[in-house]
């Protein structure tokens, strides 16, 4: 079953330099191809938003600028948010997390994975707030291979006991048909919450295993 769910993903995977993550080109990603193009090539576009890149100087991350960025992301104005992001000091993991969250919340899962890769190649360290969104993005493209690489990375960083990360991993593995891996994550959790149990139950139901212990 897992092979069936992943066949389209593995057929279309491509290499991203250094990070070696390969987001799939799902139907959802293809439907957002135009938006993806705008994100990737916004430097060459004339601004059609309230932020005109020709007039914006590179600024430090002041509280007002961060608030404006958050407002744009929360309202789904990602093109404006990316323009603002490019004027800011990018050494803050928080800012990268904000942008990844915005992409995930907008259903741009492949783009979120690619942005995470860019974060890695630029030497920005991911934290415990980064991984739940990245794992959700992997689940969004049925990305078992990508998810496993993220899982390996977060283990090395010592985040494999974080309850929010573990819950996201349970959902990912169940979604791609690897319920045994969901069970392993669940069993190794030092603390479980209602989301943990519900995620396992949903995984069993998804795979027609409602009677599983």
Summarised one tens digit per residue, pLDDT across range 67-94 is 999 999 999 999 999 999 998 988 899 9
> Cβ distance 148 to 181 under 8 Å?
no
**What pLDDT is attached to residue 90?**
87
∠ CA 118-109-134 to the nearest 5 degrees?
Answer: 60
pLDDT class for 21, splitting at 50, 70, 90?
low
| pLDDT one-digit tens code per residue, 106-160 | 999 999 999 999 999 999 999 999 999 999 999 999 999 999 999 999 999 999 9
Give me the DSSP letters along 16-30.
-TTT-------HHHH
The rounded mean pLDDT for the chain is 79
Calculate the dihedral angle through the C-alpha atoms of 174, 22, 17, 73, rounding to the nearest 10 degrees. Answer: -70
pTM here is: 0.71
pLDDT by residue (tens digit) across 174-213?
999 999 999 999 999 999 999 999 999 999 998 887 655 5
């Amino acid at each position: 079953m897992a092979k069936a769910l992943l066949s389209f993903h593995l057929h279309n995977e491509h290499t991203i330099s250094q990070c070696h993550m390969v987001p799939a080109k799902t139907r959802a990603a293809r439907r957002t191809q135009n938006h993806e193009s705008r994100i990737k090539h916004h430097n060459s576009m004339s601004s059609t938003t309230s932020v005109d890149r020709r007039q914006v100087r590179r600024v430090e991350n002041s509280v007002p600028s961060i608030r404006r960025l958050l407002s744009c992301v929360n309202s789904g104005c990602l093109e404006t948010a990316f323009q603002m992001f490019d004027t800011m000091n990018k050494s803050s993991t928080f800012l990268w997390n904000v942008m990844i969250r915005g992409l995930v919340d907008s259903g741009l899962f492949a783009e979120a994975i690619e942005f995470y890769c860019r974060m890695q190649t630029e030497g920005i360290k991911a934290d415990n707030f980064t991984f739940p969104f990245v794992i959700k993005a992997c689940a969004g493209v049925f990305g078992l291979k990508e998810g496993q690489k993220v899982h390996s990375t977060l283990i090395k960083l010592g985040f494999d006991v974080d309850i929010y990360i573990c819950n996201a991993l349970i959902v990912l593995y169940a979604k791609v048909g690897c319920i045994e891996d969901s069970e392993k994550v669940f069993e190794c959790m030092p603390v479980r919450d209602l989301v943990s149990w519900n995620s396992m139950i949903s995984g069993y139901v998804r795979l027609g295993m409602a009677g599983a212990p």
